[in-house]
Structure 1
Amino acid sequence: MNRIILFGLALISCVLLHAQRKIDVLHYTFRIGLSDSSDNITGDALIRFRMLETTPNLLIDLAAVNPATSKGMKAGKVMMKGLPLTYTQTEQQLNISLGAIVSAGDTAEIQIQYSGVPSDGLIISKNKYGHRTFFADNWPNRGHNWLPCVDDPGDKASVDFIVTAPQHYQVVSNGLLIEETSLSADKKLTHWREDVPINTKVMVIGVAAFAVQRSGTIAGCIPVYSWVYPEDRDKGFYDYEQANEILPFFIREVGPYGYRKLANVQSKTIFGGLENANTIFYAEGSVRGDRRSEGLLTHEIAHQWFGNMATEKSFAHLWLSEGFATYMTIYYMESKYGRDTAVKMLEEDRRQVAAFARKSNRAIVDEDPDFMKLLNANSYQKGGWVLHMLRQQLGHEVFMKAIKKYYAQYAGSNADTRDLQHVFEQVSGKSLKTFFDQWLYQPGIPQLDIKWNYAPRTKKITITVKQLQPQAFSFPLKIAIQCSGGKTQTQVLQVKNNTDTFSFSLTGTASSVLADPDTELLYEGTVTGK
């Protein structure tokens, strides 16, 4: 996800209810009715699930009607095997009595009928051209504002969306188009099916007037589509066509693409981009006709591997999604445009991390229950920098081997930071506990005061590195020493204490010292000396 947000998130509560989950959802079928006469939607959800515990009741997330706004979903009939079930609807959930104890391991199916005006999650509004649109925007756990579901990244299920809407709309969704049928002069049914299990944060529908282009076919079998507003047809097709370069890059570098299509969709998402599974939504402004959204497309397409197929177990480990997409974007840009482009991106990201660290005392792995607060430089830029430092310290070959192994092992499931650590340790044959502990579980970054002194008589230079932050980091620090005659001598210092002093001989007179000349370390600091 790109973090550009188009309206105030302070109004959106995204605190997950930590209810004890007793089911594993296997499949959703959502029948959604939309109209132009009002923002009220009708829904019929069929949820097939496996019981994880023997229990007489279960919890399904569904936001109730808020009396103050009259927005929210009102549950109607809830049934199992055609028989009605009793339930209570709280502010955020349905507590459903199953009528009899369902044993652990059993598979069951419930049907929930409901209706209401979505308070969030499904954005019903006019696009920039004044046309009415409907766009799902479920991240992080806003799907339950319009869908009965288990709104948790750790629960993945296949899904069918069957949408009935006025004839003049087109509907795009996850997976493949199964059916498009005119029901009457003014109503049309559109059915999409996603067979690959995904979580609710990336389940979507988009309903609007679109211009649609099949811009390419990757690996002989993966169609790539552009869905843009008709007024933006030429510009949008030109901008989004770049996906045909990006998708094969990640297939080659990371592993097989997990889905059967890729659609890039101009939308009303509140974010700059939202990585919905194989149906990526981009903000309206992403279409300009100048291809300046290449980085945005790359970030969201990278999410199809990291975040969608290999998913964080909980939002505390969001960096496994956002940090990966951030660094994979840099890696793509490096491959296409060269190292100088990557260095500029890394330096800008480092500045953002340093600025965030000065005002925040939180680590990357963060249990903050307000998930919107996790959309910060820790999850994105610092997470990307962690991967960059792993690549520098382990070497490119080992790094990419570990990335591929991690994806192969966790595609289709969920992982946390320790799972990633274990994969990197297996591949590299090294203990990375200190690295992961300090960079991912410890707040801040190294704040360095580096002083040097050159002694002409002994031709030795002494370098003192002081760490000014509360807790010392352990890291290699490359130093480039400019000597007389234009020669540069490079030394790698192993820094691990609050204060470390290093002394070594030079081949010429030192004139200047540069820390981290190859942009390999996440830090901020100063270098002084003579």
Structure 2
Amino acid sequence: MKKLSLIILALGILPGLWAQQQEEAAPDTSWKKVYRESAPRINDLVHTKLDVKFDFSKSYMNGKAWITLAPHFYPTDSLTLDAKGMDIQKVAIVKGASSQPLKYKYDGWNLNIDLDKSYKGGEKYTVYIEYTAKPDEVKVQGSAAITDAKGLYFINPKGEEKDKPTQIWTQGETEATSVWCPTIDKPGQKTTNEINMTVPAKYATLSNGKLVSQKANADGTRTDAWKMELPHAPYLFFMGVGEYSIIKDTYKGKEVNYYVEKEYAPVAKKIFGHTPEMMGFFSKVLGVEYPWVKYSQIVGRDYVSGAMENTTATLHQESAQQDARELIDGNSWESTIAHELFHQWFGDLVTCESWSNLTLNESFANYSETLWDEYKYGKDAGDAQNFGDMQGYIQSQSEKKDLVRFYYNDKEAMFDAVSYNKGGRILNMLRSYVGDSAFFKSLNLYLTTNKFKSAEAHQLRLAFEEVTGKDMNWFWNQWYFGAGHPKLSIDYAYDDNAKTVQVTVKQTQAGDKVFTLPVAIDIYTGAEKVRHNVWINDKEETFTFPYTTRPDLVNVDGQKTLLAEKKDNKTLENFIHQYKYAGLYLDRREAIDFASRNQDNPKAQELLLTALKDKYQGLRSFAMGKLDMKNETVRKKAEPILEELAQRDPKSKVRASALAALSQYNNGAYKSLFTKNVNDSSYTVAGTALESLFKLDSAAAVAEAKRLAKYPAKGKLVEVMTTTLVKSGDENSFDIIAKAFDDMPISQAKFNLLQPFCEFLAVVKDTKRVKKGVDLVIEFRDALAAYGLTPYVNNLLKGVITKKTAASAAATDKTSAQEQIDYINAKIEGDKKGF
């Protein structure tokens, strides 16, 4: 599972806010005493066979299930299945070609069955169930990762929304497969399965495993039979239905398919086309070949999360579908594609045995994004991904949460920046500590030992201990079964008489916990580096190193792998040397950041100007964002470099950053540059150019925005175009603005547009338009309810009411304004969602 919040909102604090509201603000804290053990295994799933038909008019699914099980160890004469919100029509035991009814009790949540006899451990039996699934009538709670949990989703089932396709897709994690399939809905269960789907013949289908047959029916439907011959967890069961273009690819003779809406067929391979290379890379580094019969990826409308790693059949939200102009800026979905693919090993092949151990799934998928970027785009790209994810964890303010958690309010609360981001950074530290060879060999041992089974964190530890010969309890106790991270203050004292340098490291985090940290300390004299590997074991430690010539730099955490917040008390000269000679992404980023706080110093200015030409595009943009444009010297020296970058940098995002920086000069000479770039093929460049043009000539920018509104636009361009029209205050632009807002998928851009859109509604006088705009805001609010943003959106709407109330006081006709105010109040007070 790739979390929606971290993908689309780019606000790392949201997962923390949601979990904090769930666990700390909840009035009932009894959960703090409830130990979340792994689910007991009384019966084991062996095989699940389904025949299903869909009632699009009611959003129902009619199902027949043959479920083969066996007692885990002890004899049993009963079976309890999870079956949420179903109509149960028949329950029977299968005896060869016949069956006999069984007694059962059903409370709408669990199906308790009396078997025909007591079965011994390992003795197989098959129950047959006829049922109707009614997902829209099931009331379940989602999470910040998964905003709904009704398992089976009918999208535009009656075709009433003209611009939206009709689709069906399922979402099983955490325990929602049991909304549409009676099962033992726990991650510790493993079963093979087969699903026969009968659908209108115009639709394509996708499920786990291989498509083994297709049968045309006399009524215009078709039955597709999918078979999964290797065991996996029930939450990974998947069904997808809809009108798709299926773009075919291969990996070592295995099918690799991309299911996209027809308009994206020409660019499907630009979006998903690295998949076979990813499969090869991950197979090689893990020493475990891609384990399943095929790999397909499908895009679903209105998906409740970012993406989901259903075995052999990953589901992505619609943001994965990018047009050719978006892809000029790079594939924003590529890390998610890597994330879900890596789950096919970590999560699908070996599954966490309980949600307490979720990080065994998610930390690896998260870390795969760093591994892929490092392999494909270089060390800087991998380090940038790693750093960004570390900041996501730190900003989540989750220091009190253990990585492996046996106490939580709800299993959904496990899907947070700790299980994902922190877990991934811990793997990065572990890789640094044991070395690449041992790290990947340990992962290989973990996967091969536990394949097709479930596991807990100690089994990962045992694999590392077996390979390295080291006791790893200290690491697991500190990072997996503990909370928080170190906050370090680092000081340096040079003694030229004694020819020594003392490095003092203080741990300043709150509380009594002291972290044990293996750290590389690099000492530079010119370009020459000497590395000292030390252990930090105390709250404050001092290390003394001799020198012949006073070092130019002492670099603590030379590998830049610590999960920590650091106050590194180096001099500007130290940081300049670090930028030039230490050379890692974080070395350079730290130096740029320090120089940006000392821009009155000519040496700091020189470093920043050098960084504008850094070899890594992300740091070029970072340096631009740090320039102090109020400093005349910086402003003057940076200008020719910025102009050069704006016109000639090979990376579109860097060109956009340069245009944004040039807009701060308020120089009419750049109007032609901005106007020219409004038509750039990159949405990011075009949008930034339009934004920059608005600062120089708002009328010209509004005219350009109206012209551009006639053509398809996405990303930064549609965000700025719409904001520009909003700022113009021209009510006649309402239809353009509302359509642009409505067409945008749930995204950071749409979130950014929310406030100016509400400000625009405050000046719109037409009641029909106001109501339409408010409805769009409410729809977006409710889609984000699980993130705790409802109060924020409601406050924006209250601001609209305040302005309309003030305007009404001076108006002759107060009727329309009051109708609008009443309508907004009703929407705010209506279906209250969120926390």
Confirm or deny a common fold (TM above 0.5).
yes
Among 89, 92, 101, the alignment partner of 1:84 is: 101
Q: Contact between 2:517 and 2:537, CA under 8 Å: does it hold in 1?
A: yes
CA-to-partner distance for each residue in 1:174-226, whole Å, 9 max, x for gaps? Answer: 111122112123322111110111111111000111111212x222x211111
Q: Counterparts of 1:24 and 1:400 in 2: how far apart (Å)?
A: 32
In structure 2, distance between residues paired with 1:380 and 1:519: 20
2:38–2:354 CA contact under 8 A, matched in 1: no
The answer as to whether partners of 2:86 and 2:132 remain within 8 angstroms in 1 is yes
Q: What is the match of residue 385 of structure 1? A: 425
**Which residue, 243, 264, 272 being the options, matches 2:306?**
272
**TM-score, scaled relative to structure 1:** 0.92
Rate the CA distance shift 1:432–1:17 in 2: closer, same or farther, 3 A: closer
C-alpha distance in structure 1 between counterparts of 2:501 and 2:450, whole Å:
49
Partner of 1:40: 60
Contact between 1:35 and 1:166, CA under 8 Å: does it hold in 2? no
Q: Which amino acid aligns with 1:105?
A: G
Helix, strand or coil: the match of 2:448? helix
2:478 match: 438
Q: How many angstroms apart in 2 are the aligned matches of 1:337 and 1:55?
A: 55
Of the two, which has the highest radius of gyration? 2
| Cα distance in 2 between the residues matched to 1:224 and 1:362 | 39
Unpaired segments ≥5 residues, structure 1 = 64-71
Match of 1:67 in 2: none
CA distance in 2, matches of 1:248, 1:317: 28
1:148 aligned partner: 182
Is residue 513–residue 527 contact of structure 1 (8 Å, CA) maintained in 2? no
Give the structure 2 partner of residue 372 of structure 1. Answer: 412
**Contact 1:56/1:102 (<8 A) preserved:** yes
How far apart are residue 306 of structure 1 and its match?
0.9
Kindly indicate whether the alpha-carbon contact (under 8 Å) linking 1:167 and 1:185 is maintained by their aligned counterparts in 2.
no
Deviation at residue 511 of structure 1 after TM alignment? 5.5
1:369 Cα deviation after fit: 5.6
The structure 2 residue matched to 1:526, chosen from 554, 564, 567, is 567
Q: Does residue 65 of structure 2 align to residue 73 of structure 1? A: no
Query: For residues 188-267 of structure 1, what are the structure 2 equivalents within 5 Å?
Result: 188-215=222-249, 217-219=250-252, 221-254=253-286, 255-267=288-300
- Tell whether 2:75 aligns with 1:54: yes
- Displacement of 1:360 after TM fit? 3.9
Aligned to 1:408: 448
What one-letter code is carried by the residue in structure 2 that aligns with 1:77? K
C-alpha distance after superposition, 1:490-509 (max 9, x if no partner):
43331011121222222333
CA distance in 2, matches of 1:122, 1:440: 34
8 Å CA contact 1:353, 1:378 repeated in 2: yes
Distance in 1 (alpha carbons) for counterparts of 2:56 and 2:81? 29
* 1:72-95 deviation line (CA, Å, top 9, x unaligned): 312111111311111111242111
| Alignment-derived partner of residue 66 in structure 1 | none
- Whether the aligned pair in 2 keeps the contact of 1:453 and 1:529 (CA below 8 Å) is no
* Change over 3 Å in CA distance of 1:452–1:431 after alignment to 2: same
**CA-atom RMSD, angstroms?**
2.4
Residues 128, 135 of structure 1: alpha-carbon distance in 2 compared, 3 angstrom cutoff:
farther
Contact 1:228–1:237 under 8 Å retained in 2: no
What is the alpha-carbon distance in structure 2 between the residues aligned to residue 229 and residue 279 of structure 1? Answer: 16
Q: Is the 8 A contact 2:247 2:268 kept in 1?
A: no
What amino acid sits opposite 1:79 in the alignment? A
Greater shift in the superposed pair: 167-176 or 123-132: 123-132
1:309, distance to aligned residue in structure 2 (A) = 0.5
Could you tell me whether the CA contact under 8 Å between 2:199 and 2:221 is conserved in 1? Answer: yes
| Aligned residue among 342, 346, 361 for 1:321 | 361
Number of aligned residues: 516
CA distance in 2, matches of 1:340, 1:413: 36
User: Residues of 1 paired with 2:162 and 2:43: CA distance?
Assistant: 41
Partners of 2:528 and 2:445 lie apart in 1 by 42
Instruction: Give, in angstroms, the shift of residue 426 of structure 1.
Output: 0.7
- Which has the larger displacement, 378-387 or 440-449? 378-387
> What corresponds to 1:3 in structure 2?
3
Gaps of 5+ in 2: 23-30, 139-149, 572-835
Q: Which has the higher contact order (CA 8 A, sep 6+)?
A: 1
Distance 2:245 2:292 in 1: 23
Contact 1:481–1:512 (CA under 8 A) maintained in structure 2: yes
More displaced, 460-469 or 393-402? 460-469
Measure, in 2, the Cα distance between the counterparts of 1:415 and 1:377. 21
Q: Deviations over 1:48-96 (max 9, x none)?
A: 0111232221100011xxxxxxxx3121111113111111112421111
Contact 1:489 1:506 in 2 (8 A): no
- Cα distance in 1 for residues equivalent to 2:104 and 2:151: 23
Q: Which amino acid aligns with 2:211?
A: L
Contact 2:369–2:385 (CA<8 Å) still a contact in 1? no
Indicate conservation of the 8 Å contact 1:173/1:279, yes or no: yes
Q: Give the deviation of 1:168 after TM superposition.
A: 2.3
Instruction: Report the equivalent of 1:342.
Output: 382
Q: Render the CA deviation track for 1:420-451: whole Å, top value 9, x for unaligned.
A: 11111111111111011101111011111222
SS at match of 1:497: coil
Aligned-pair CA distance for 1:517: 3.2
User: Which structure dedicates a bigger proportion of its chain to helix?
Assistant: 2
Q: Identity of counterpart residues, as a percentage?
A: 26
Tell me the amino acid that sits aligned with residue 249 of structure 1.
F
Q: 99, 106, 110: which one pairs with 2:127?
A: 110
Q: Give the drift of 1:373.
A: 1.4
CA distance in 1, matches of 2:37, 2:132: 22
Separation of aligned partners in 1, 2:214 and 2:100: 31
Match of 1:68 in 2: none
| Structure 2 CA distance for partners of 1:31 and 1:486, relative to 1, 3 Å | closer
Equivalents in 1 of 2:37, 2:491: separation in Å? Answer: 51
